[in-house]
Amino acid sequence: MKNPPETMFETAFAEDTYKGLTNYPKYLLSKYIYDKKGDKLFQQIMDMPEYYLTSCELDILKINSEAIAKSFSSDSGFDLIELGAGDGKKTKIILKELVDKNFQFDYLPVDISQNVLEELESSLQKEIPEVNVKIQQGTYFKTLEKLSEYNTRKKVILVLGSNIGNLSHKEAVEFLANIAQAMSEDDMLFMGFDQKKNPQTILDAYNDPSGITEEFNKNLLVRINSELDGEFDTNSFFHWETYDPETGTAKSFLVSKKPQKVVIKRLGLEINFEAWESINTEISQKYDDSIVNWLADEAGLHVEKYFGDKENCYKNYIFRRK
């Protein structure tokens, strides 16, 4: 089925939903999970014992906060630009260290969710009022277009939580290359990468027995129902997780339990599902040093150093321009 002209879509969400559900195989973009409800569900996921990513990265930042803050610093001050800031729980460890050392900087958290940004700004005013914060609502890619405008002093671009894992390798290279183009010689990129490990550990992180991850993925269908007059019966789908240890790719799917038709009125769309047909809702890529170095090289960057947890389940890398 051909997509109608872009002018027929009221929002990017509407356009991307149309494209994804008329594609074969069907998919939806994970970035749209994050509305007010999705934000809260993800915060619950990060607190789950199975979701090791949060605790591993927290440990890295706590143990190495002084060294990390020192690597960020600059005599003339710097701009700390965080892509996908979320609730800032982990970033606050670094912010407190920067404030304690009296480093001069502005903090610019970027997120697709205005709601989560406002909550972050409010919490920072209470917890670390010394931080000069300027929230920026938008997607990564729109933010990248503006990055080069911050060129009067050092930029530190911060990406925590292995958010790059939501991109294919091709998309990741493009993303990193765009960052590299906006970086000057003094700038740096500090980015988290979840590492390859026991496949069962990875599956457990995205397939919790309490069903929070399932509800999180189904929030895509809830948003379609709410914002696009969709008629999804969320109980007619179940969440399924896969992990390929060869490629390091974890994938989340919503699988139709039966043959069904779903109408989305504001898109003028009727979608047919076969029994057991799936919608790909998210990918979560896992890495090792060789893959990270390859991605960096392709994008015009090089790895300067990394910080890992005690078992190297997770690593934060510092990148510079070649």
Residues 244-282 have pLDDT tens digits of 999 999 999 999 999 999 999 999 999 999 999 999 999
Residue 265 per-residue DSSP state:
G
- C-alpha to C-alpha distances, 223 to 34, 168, 178, nearest whole angstrom: 10, 24, 30
Contact 34, 161 (CB under 8 A): no
CA 85 to chain CA mean position, Å: 9
Quote the DSSP letter at residue 51. Answer: -
Domain architecture of the chain: domains with CATH: 6-33+201-285 (no CATH), 52-195+287-321 (3.40.50.150)
Share of the chain above pLDDT 90, in %: 85
Q: What is the mean pLDDT of the chain?
A: 94
- Average pLDDT per 10 consecutive residues for the chain, totaling 322 residues: 61 96 97 92 93 95 97 95 91 97 95 89 97 88 75 93 93 95 94 98 94 97 98 98 97 98 96 98 97 98 96 96 94
CA-based R_g, the chain, Å: 20
Please provide the size of the chain in residues: 322
Task: Please give the distance of CA 311 from its chain centroid, rounded to a whole number.
Answer: 23
The letter for the amino acid at 233 is D
Report how far residue 186's alpha carbon sits from residue 266's, in angstroms, rounded to the nearest whole number: 48
**64-88 per-position pLDDT tens digit:** 999 999 999 999 999 999 998 988 9
